[in-house]
Structure 1
Amino acid sequence: MSKKSYRNKIEIAKEKEKNKEELLKKIERLQKRINDLEKSLNKPQNIQDKTELYLKHPEEPVVTPTLKKTVVNEQILWEINNSQRATKGLFEIKGNYEKICSIIPNALIIADEKGKIIFWNKAAEKIFGYTSEEALNNDLLNILVPSEYHQFFKEGFNRFKDTGEGPIIEKPSEFIAKKKNGNNFPIEITLSAIEVDEKWYSVAIIRDISEHKRIEESLIQTHQKLEGMLNNAVNTLVKIIELRDSYTSGHQKRVSELAVAIARKMGLNEKKVKLIKIAALVHDIGKVGIPSEILNKPTKLTDLEFNLIQTHPQAGYNILKEVDFPWPVEEIILQHHERIDGSGYPRKLKDDEIMVEARIIAVADVVEAMSSHRPYRPGLGIKKALEEISQNRGILYDPKVVDICLQLFREKKFKF
């Protein structure tokens, strides 16, 4: 399944959930009316007395944690003047209540303060496998929650029944639920609380996310395959460079190790760390187009030769822009010789014009190159390399990157 199809499925699911709060409000109001109508049927049918009672209390508040106090207009109750009309009104409201609940595509379950199920809609029957008759008056915990999660739910419910509060109230959460046949499956649940007669009732809207999880797992597997292919491509590029110039290959590996250590110490996320690792492993790939006689020349380079060396970032960019990397590897390679004062090449970028990934690789590149043996000179050592980045901190090199690099070596948390 394509990422586009997956996103479409997710969007459809979100759209179905969009009006959930509005439906809950209607349900709360209808439930209150039903309660009041049922009470009215149990009282003596004195029309005058009943009318006076409703006129004294024309409105009653319903309390929910999200809506605080919602005033429900009881105009319908004022119009009731006999038991027949009251009964008719009661059935009409119950009918409307059932209609609202029947259009909800997800399970709607209401439990009382003891955790007993008092409402169970058609979608709940389909999702969990229990009919309404089987589910009503049963303990929510025992029939819907796998035994290994009982303790967690008991602790949450004990808090809820006293306060109407809990860690997942009004927060969509994912859990494992249990079907009638005993099979466990993933759900997304949104819990709301309604207070009636100083008792808290839980209203749960639940959707089966088995298909969502299946798609998610499929995407993860696809991503892993693509990542494997990407790693193979990078390793192939590294081997090509190694065949051409063994010094450059070893240099790139060491630069990658240091750049990754700096990135992690800076707190960059794993996506950026992975990008830096890959970009550093191939940052000098553009040198494949430079004659090995120049790369390995033991004497000082001529101006012409040095100018040719300076073309390798652009050459690397041209090679890798044709590779379908999921990250801007080619842009980092193009920028790894830029300097924050604008003295670098090829585009003379400054400060934040240079990607942070390129600024990190630039520092790692200089430290490794100066401390290691080069064809035209022996290695200068790590001390000299650290002096270079320290002296040019904030001039050529990003000060934050320099500070982290110095810290890694001084605290002996990194070595080549």
Structure 2
Amino acid sequence: MKGISIDFDGTICEVDSTGNFYIYGQLPSQDDVYEMAIVYELKIAESIFDLTHNLLTAVSLEEIPIKVSTFFREKFNKNVTMEYDEELHEFRMNKQQLVVPIVSKNSGTLGSTIIKGDFSLEEALGFLAFYDSFVSIVEGMIISHRLENLLRSALDTMFVTLNKRVKLEESDLKLMEEIVSKLSVVENVNLEEAKLALRTINVGFVGLKDELFDRIKSGAVRDGDYEEFLKHVQYGYEILKDMDAPNFIIEACLYHHDFVDGSGLSKLRGTEIPKLALIVGFAENVVLLGKHKEEMKGKYPDEYFRIIFEE
């Protein structure tokens, strides 16, 4: 269909003489899409509803563009890319891209998705008819993504603030991150999760006294100071549990003062200790507690010492 201009309750649909189409104005409901299609004898690619299955297998917002791209390639033999723009709140469609806002009934507009490719009017209308299902699937992931970013920002601030109490300089914090980054490769653990754990495990420091940190940093440690220091593990566990923190963070908090020889806080040995807990615990002992290689020998894998002390 060429050379038409439709204004259907504020939704503008134009098709020029060359077959290019432009849809903009009011974002239509699913009922409006079907009614407009009936009135103006337009076709709707209802096979796009099959995208539901692909999207339901996604576990994060980052996977959604991959699922969309895979679907269009397998279903329509089209190369399609998708991106999410949190700041964009627009509705416009044409042959080259489908820009659709994510409007949540509970949370308002959550940004827009931009799907780029080579689309027909039939496919664009199919995506509009599928819109409600699409939003219901991705809105929860977008909100979770925002909350995760907010949590990371809060943890970054807390990490710096708490470590100032422990008298650590910025260079010390960077060194801890460097140690964690190198050992993450050795243990094949997710680097982002390791960095997040490093920022989180010591949230329990809020329950310790400043003078304890002063003595630890100066080397003037008294009897009972180390036992008092270790109380931050339980304090941190209680805080993180109430925050519904991910399990890998809670485990890193609980077991980052355990050693492979079984002499640590929870008496776990060897592979019983989560690798993430072992990594961040090693970084803390080296930088925060100022432990020397000789003091930690046998408490951590030999590979750690080779990479951190020798390399």
TM-score by length of 1: 0.40
> Where does structure 2 lack aligned partners over 5 or more consecutive residues?
1-42, 48-75, 81-116
- The reply to whether residue 342 of structure 1 matches residue 265 of structure 2 is no
Task: Name 1:41's counterpart in structure 2.
Answer: none
Query: How many angstroms does 1:230 deviate by?
Result: 1.1
C-alpha separation between the residues in 2 aligned to 1:284 and 1:249? 16
C-alpha separation between the residues in 2 aligned to 1:282 and 1:185? 45
Does the C-alpha gap of structure 1 residues 211 and 220 become closer, same or farther in structure 2, counting only changes over 3 Å? same
Cα contact 2:45–2:122 (8 A) shared by 1: no
Task: Name 2:175's counterpart in structure 1.
Answer: 254
Task: Name 1:241's counterpart in structure 2.
Answer: 162
**Which of 265, 270, 273 matches 1:351?**
270
Q: 1:7-22 counterparts in 2 under 5 A?
A: none
**Which of 200, 215, 223 matches 1:303?**
223
Greater Rg, structure 1 or structure 2? 1
Does the C-alpha gap of structure 1 residues 209 and 334 become closer, same or farther in structure 2, counting only changes over 3 Å? same
Task: Name 1:273's counterpart in structure 2.
Answer: 191
Q: 1:86-165 counterparts in 2 under 5 A?
A: 127=45
C-alpha separation between the residues in 1 aligned to 2:158 and 2:196? 11
Measured against aligned partners, the alpha-carbon deviations of 1:207-233 in whole angstroms (never above 9, x if no partner) come to: x97666544543442232011121133
C-alpha separation between the residues in 1 aligned to 2:275 and 2:285? 16
Cα contact 2:44–2:122 (8 A) shared by 1: no
Percent of matched pairs sharing the same residue:
22
Cα contact 1:284–1:313 (8 A) shared by 2: yes
Aligned Cα root-mean-square deviation (Å): 4.0
C-alpha separation between the residues in 2 aligned to 1:340 and 1:234? 28
AA at the equivalent of 1:304: G
> Where does structure 1 lack aligned partners over 5 or more consecutive residues?
1-124, 130-143, 149-175, 187-207, 373-379, 412-416
Query: How many angstroms does 1:359 deviate by?
Result: 1.2
Cα contact 1:340–1:398 (8 A) shared by 2: yes
TM-score by length of 2: 0.52
C-alpha separation between the residues in 1 aligned to 2:46 and 2:186? 48
**Which of 297, 300, 307 matches 1:397?**
300
C-alpha separation between the residues in 1 aligned to 2:235 and 2:197? 14
Measured against aligned partners, the alpha-carbon deviations of 1:12-69 in whole angstroms (never above 9, x if no partner) come to: xxxxxxxxxxxxxxxxxxxxxxxxxxxxxxxxxxxxxxxxxxxxxxxxxxxxxxxxxx
Does the C-alpha gap of structure 1 residues 127 and 308 become closer, same or farther in structure 2, counting only changes over 3 Å? same
Cα contact 1:241–1:249 (8 A) shared by 2: no
Task: Name 2:124's counterpart in structure 1.
Answer: 183
Does the C-alpha gap of structure 1 residues 185 and 397 become closer, same or farther in structure 2, counting only changes over 3 Å? farther
C-alpha separation between the residues in 2 aligned to 1:366 and 1:316? 17
AA at the equivalent of 1:308: E
- Secondary structure at the aligned position of 2:257 is classed as coil
